[in-house]
Amino acid sequence: MAVPARHTEIHRADRIGWLRAAVLGANDGIVSTASLVIGIAASHASPCQVLLAGVAGLVAGAMSMAAGEYVSVSSQADTERADLARETKELATDRAHEHEELAGIYRARGLDAELADRVAEQLMVHDALGAHARDELGITDMHSARPVQAAFASAATFAVGAAMPLLTILLAPAAHAGEVVAGTSLVFLAVLGGVAAQAGGAPVAAAALRVTFWGALAMALTAAAGAWFGATA
């Protein structure tokens, strides 16, 4: 008797939390640091001044990303905890209503009334809070807020992204540092967009183009500002 082939599926939804923070951090690191050094270079600053500005931008940006992610995701975590606490109280004081509420959710999803009632009953016996958290509140372990993880991921990836234009400054000719940083940073952004899309199962070309476009726009505007204020200083 032939053994049926095992059906395996690869899902990427569990990557959403860390992937979002990592891509945001690296993208911001490349764009903000490259734009900063390009703007400073366009103002005719010395190579040392350009490098110093880039290093300061790396440190400040990494800390800002960490703090911003931690505060933002902590707020989400606080909301989730408050919702779960309220749901726990309601389950303890009015379980019949909570059962009907859960059954109503399943009826709305297409189950007939009798089956929806049985499913709600069995799930509440197994894990009432988990069932309501998942199906009523949309809270799951996969997508729950993790502030510390998001903060470290954002700070670390920002620093990695910001280091790329800084290394380019060290290797590029001083007279053409701005142009070289702009070109290499756009390549870095295209690669980042493609890799992130590949990891998330999204179209690679569209993601790379989107990231590169906004990076180029930021660098162009910063270079224009640097040239303008450098000329009028």
Tell me the HSE value of 103 on the side-chain side, using a 13 A CA sphere.
17
Supply the pLDDT for residue 163.
92
pTM comes to 0.67
Largest CA distance in the chain: 85
Would you say 195 and 211 are in contact if contact means Cβ atoms under 8 Å apart?
no
The owner of tokens 């009907």 is 100
Supply the pLDDT for residue 24.
76
- Spell out the domain ranges in the chain: 16-227
pLDDT digits (tens, 9 = 90+) for 20-73: 667 778 888 999 999 998 888 888 888 888 889 899 999 999 999 889 888 988
Residues 6+ apart with CB under 8 A from 42: 178, 222, 223, 224, 225, 226, 227, 230
pLDDT digits (tens, 9 = 90+) for 162-179: 999 898 888 878 777 788
Spatial CA neighbour of 81 closest among 131, 16, 146: 146
Supply the pLDDT for residue 194.
83
Which DSSP helix (H) or strand (E) runs through 118?
Answer: helix 113-132
d(CA 153, CA 144): 16
pLDDT digits (tens, 9 = 90+) for 120-143: 888 888 888 888 888 877 777 655
Report, as an integer, the average pLDDT of 192-206: 79
The owner of tokens 């395996």 is 8
Residue 97 pLDDT > 70: yes
